[in-house]
Structure formats: C-alpha cells, structure tokens
Amino acid sequence: MHELLRGEPGSKALLLGNEAIVRGALEAGVGFATTYPGTPSSEIGDNFYRIAQETDLYFEYSVNEKVALEVAAAAAVSGVRAICSMKHVGLNVAADALMTLAYVGVKAGMVVVSADDPSLHSSQNEQDNRYYARLSGLPMLEPANAAEALEMTRSAFSLSENQRIPVLLRTTTRVNHSRSVVELGVFSAGHYRGRFDKDPFNLVVIPMVGRKLHLELLRKQKELQEIADASPFNVSSGQGSWGIITSGVSANYVRDAIRDLGISREVRLLKLGMTHPLPANLLANFLQGLERVLVVEELEPFLEEQVKALAQEKGLTCVIRGKGEDLLPRSFEFDPLQVRLAIARFFGLNYEHAGSAAGAELPPRPPNLCAGCPHRATYYAVKQVVGESAIFPTDIGCYTLGILPPLQAADFLLCMGSGVSSAGGFSQVQNQPVVAFIGDSTFFHSGITGLINGVQNNHNFTLVILDNGTTAMTGHQPHPGVELTPRGRQAPRVSIEAVVRGCGVEEVITVRPQQLKKTIAALDSIVKKEGVKVVISKAPCPLFERRITGKKQQIVFEVTEECDNCRRCLDELGCPAFACECDASGRVKITIDEVLCNGCAVCSQICHAVKPRKKSN
C-alpha cells in the first residue's frame, strides 16, 4: 500500500511538503487529480499517479497545464473534488482558463497548486504567483511548512466548495522539498463519479453571462474578505511596539530571528496563511499602536504594498518597510541569517554576525547532460553539419543543458514551445541557418502550434525533436508518445511523426542519434532544403530505459594507448564520463570513468583510440 494511504488518524509522519499536499487532498476526499510535471511540484503528480493504481482516484498527466486545469474543472463542476498542480510558470499557460473559471466557479471543491521557485533552482524566471490571486480574484493560501501544507490543502477544499470558487494553494521550493512532522487526519470518502447539470446561463461565458458572473465574483470576494479576517491560518502573537508581518517559508526564519535576537517582548508578529483577499480588519487592528513594522516576504512586495495602502486609508502613521537595498531584496530565496540581519537593522539592534554555521560551500558543479545521453550525440551531429554559424533556438527540458561548452547549441529561450515559434521568427529576418531543438514531451505541450504556424507562414528552419521517450528532466513521467512502459514496448498512443506530417510538414526524417554517420548524413540531406523540416532524433533516455527494463550493462569503453591527446572527445563531445589525469611520468592522460560510462559507443565513433571492453563486476 502507498505510504500516503497508511497511518492512523492522530499519528505523526515525516513528509515532504509535496507529499503533505497529496495526503491533505486524500483526507479531503479528492477524487480527481491532474498535472503537467514541473519542478518543484512534480512529486505531487508522481504520488497521485501511484495512488491511482491502488484506489478509484482518477489521475492524469495532462498534455500541458491549461489542459490539466480544464480537465479538472470539468470534474469539479460535476461535483467531484479535484486538484490540479503545476510549477509557477505553468500557471501562465493555464491562466487563460483560470481567469474565467474564477467567474464560473465550481460545484465541488477544487484546489489549484502553484509551486513557485525563488532563486530559479530549475526555472527560467522567479515570478511571484501571488499576483495571480489578485488578478483572478481567487482566494489563496500559503503554507510555511509540510504540516501547514497538509492542513491548508484539506481546508482549501472546504473553502472552495463552500464559496463555489477554486482556491489557489501557493507554495515555494523550500516548502515543497523540505520535510517536517505532520499530524495525519481521517480520510474522507471521495466521490469519483459526478453529475453534470446543464446550466448554460451560468456556465457558458458569453458576454451577457460574463457580466453577471463578474458581479457575482465581486460579491464572493466580500465574503472571502470576512473569511480571511477570521481565518485560523492568520495568527497574531506577541506584544510590544514593533511589528513584523510575514507569510510562507519566511515565517520560519522570522520566528527563529525573534528568538535569537531576544526581542520576543518587543515584537508583535502577524503570520499570514490566507493572503488573498487581504485580511484588512485583522491587519488594521494589528497595526494599531505600532511604531515600526517590517514586512518579511520572499520575492515581490505583495503584502508590503497592500499594508502600506491600508495604513494610509486608516490614517495610521507607523513606519512600514520591507523591500530595499538596506533591508530585504526582491530577488532570490531568503535565508535565516539574511532575515535576522534585516530585522536587527530595521529595529536598530546591536547584532553582530558570528560567522556562518553552514560550513564550507560545496564546490560548484556545472549543469550537464548525463553520460551517454542521446541528446549529446544529436548536438554533435548537428554541429558537424551546420557548424557554429547557425542560430539554435531551444526549449525547456534536459536539452536546455546544451547551452554550455563544448556543445553550445542554445541561443534563445523564453518558455515551453518558444523554440519552435522563435525559429520561424529568426528565419524571416536574417539569412543564417536556423536549427531549433525541442523535446518530445515539450513538443506535445506547446510545440505543435509553433510548427503549424511555421508551415502556414512558409518559415524556413529545421526543427530537431529530441525524442527520448519520456519526460526526463522532471522524473520520467509519461506523455502521449511514450513507447517504453513497464509492460514492455508498445505502439505510442500518438505518433510524433504522424503529428508532424499532419501539421503539413513534408520533409520529415527519423534518425537514431547514436548511429553518428547515418545521423550526420540524414541531417545533411535535409537541413539545406527550403521550408520547415523536421528531424526526429529518437533514442530512449538511458536512465529511464535502465529503470524500466532492469537491463544490466555489459560493455563500457576505455581510452587505449593509441590516444594521441587530440582531445576531440573533450573539446567536441564533452561527455562527463571522460576525465584528464596525470600518469606516473607526469604525462596528461585521458580516461573514461567506468562508473559513468553507459556504453553508448558514440565516443568510439569519433576516436579510433576508444575501444569497448567488458564491464568489471
């Protein structure tokens, strides 16, 4: 039985924030879950996927976040409690549906999880998705740890169902990926089948319906304002003439700082868990009598600006600060020391930092494609054909790692699917060859529309679809083109080549990138043709293949004495299994780490000195 289905009510468990969200949803009786995988939210979908094998819960990896939201919304308006999770930039994709779903509302509880990524650990930006709550008019909860993640998820379903409106659960990486003790509750009976009652004049948002529903949304916001004022997740504590307002993971750092600085008798703390609508009455009461107030929140001054506006409306004269060069930054994650220093500085405390307790920093490790990754062979082949002069738009996924030397095959990136669309733009404004890269999962997510646009407008570029048979970077989640499954190989539900041809592309070839000579010849035959061309570079992710098949590796490769130190293996291929070391005579010698080598044989095709041998036991 899945671990999140075990545990007596009232017992304790040590859970990740993402696991706590799943457990909270199960305790709330969720019957329907959807996602498109993306760090830091991926474990939510991965756990629902496994739980769905053991229960009646419906779960799907949807083709993108907008689709995931729309599928879940259909369940929620049919009376089935639903949850839809995604990383922060995924909410941009889903925003079109979200804005109007706020009008239409739901019949059963629906929770939308947005996992923000301060410090861009695995993202292209660090946008603050709390603004989506204000933009859409949806209520929002912000947990500070796994225990709150469980409790808030469970409560969010009730809040959603009572108010007939989706609820945003906004987390950050540090909450998603840290563990804390949670108290398990009772499972509620989930409803896995619903009933849809036709009501077109409330559910079909033509203008006359939209006008009415907008007014209804504004009415709901007044009620939600009162709920926020009384929410048990908004807690005031302490005494004194100084105040600190905080939310999310920052609340943990603030509590530690108050203790470490010894100012618990001077500071009143307001920790907000329901941050939209702003609990205006609660805040106004909190601000009364305070001289100085510091707002501690990661990323944008979302709370700070609203608190300042509220204080002005109420005629309060206390000093309110938060962001600023002398206090807290608008970028990147906070850390405990940073918050402690800001609090000391703002309140004029005499505090000297005694040095970091974290110890020496780990040596930096540049991001790199795995040893034996077929993407590396594809990049090598493309560079052999088009050289350095081509423009390489790229996309979100493992292949973003093609940016670093020696591959250097990534020149432009905005978001999922942008590689294809921007390739068309580049091809229209200059004469350099354009070769774009996109992965298989990303192609289904949002690459198809860019490809259709290129065909329709007679753009001139080559699209290389790096098909490794899974959604590799986020943990090997399936997509519509997957062939390799735990049950063996099967015909994909959706053929990438058939889709490409269906989009109107006439020049399509499929290559096996680890067959270098054939791949280079095939690329050479197609790249110089006019129009939109597609090369499907097809080879499974070796980590995924090994995990699914359990196949043992028999062969590795080694650099023999024939090596003349030409360094092409390092300068052009750059597989991390290669290394340089000095032998006993001081001569620099190139070697291959047997542990990292996965026996792909690509290096042996570019260097005669690399030979196979049987792997050591």
pLDDT at 43: 97
Average pLDDT over residues 586-604: 93
Express each pLDDT in 327-340 by its tens digit.
999 999 999 999 99
* CA–CA gap between residue 21 and residue 606 (Å, rounded): 49
User: Is the confidence at residue 537, as pLDDT, over 70?
Assistant: yes
Please state, rounded to an integer, the average pLDDT across all residues of the chain: 95
> What is the C-alpha radius of gyration for the chain, rounded to an integer number of angstroms?
27
pLDDT at 582: 86
Query: Residue 358: pLDDT band by 50, 70, 90 thresholds?
Result: low
Which structure tokens are listed for 551? 């196949």
Q: Please report, rounded to a whole number, the percentage of residues in the chain having pLDDT higher than 70.
A: 99
User: Is the confidence at residue 357, as pLDDT, over 80?
Assistant: no
pLDDT at 355: 63
Task: Let me know the angle formed at the C-alpha of 571 by 568 and 574, rounded to the nearest 5 degrees.
Answer: 100
Helix segments in 405-559, DSSP class H: 418-429, 440-442, 448-456, 496-502, 516-527, 542-549
Average pLDDT over residues 66-73: 97
pLDDT at 593: 94
Is residue 303 within a helix (H) or strand (E), and if so which, with residue range?
Answer: helix 302-314
**3-state class of 101 per DSSP?**
helix
User: Is the confidence at residue 386, as pLDDT, over 60?
Assistant: yes
What are the CB-based long-range contacts (under 8 Å, 24+) for 401-406? 401/367, 401/368, 401/369, 401/375, 402/369, 402/375, 402/437, 404/366, 404/367, 404/368, 405/574, 406/570, 406/571, 406/572, 406/573, 406/574
Q: Please report, rounded to a whole number, the percentage of residues in the chain having pLDDT higher than 90.
A: 90
Average pLDDT over residues 233-261: 97
pLDDT at 586: 83
Express each pLDDT in 187-230 by its tens digit.
998 788 999 999 999 999 999 999 999 999 999 999 999 999 99
CB 450, CB 421: distance < 8 Å: yes
pTM across the whole model = 0.94
Express each pLDDT in 230-242 by its tens digit.
999 999 999 999 9
Which structure tokens are listed for 308? 């300042």
pLDDT at 487: 81
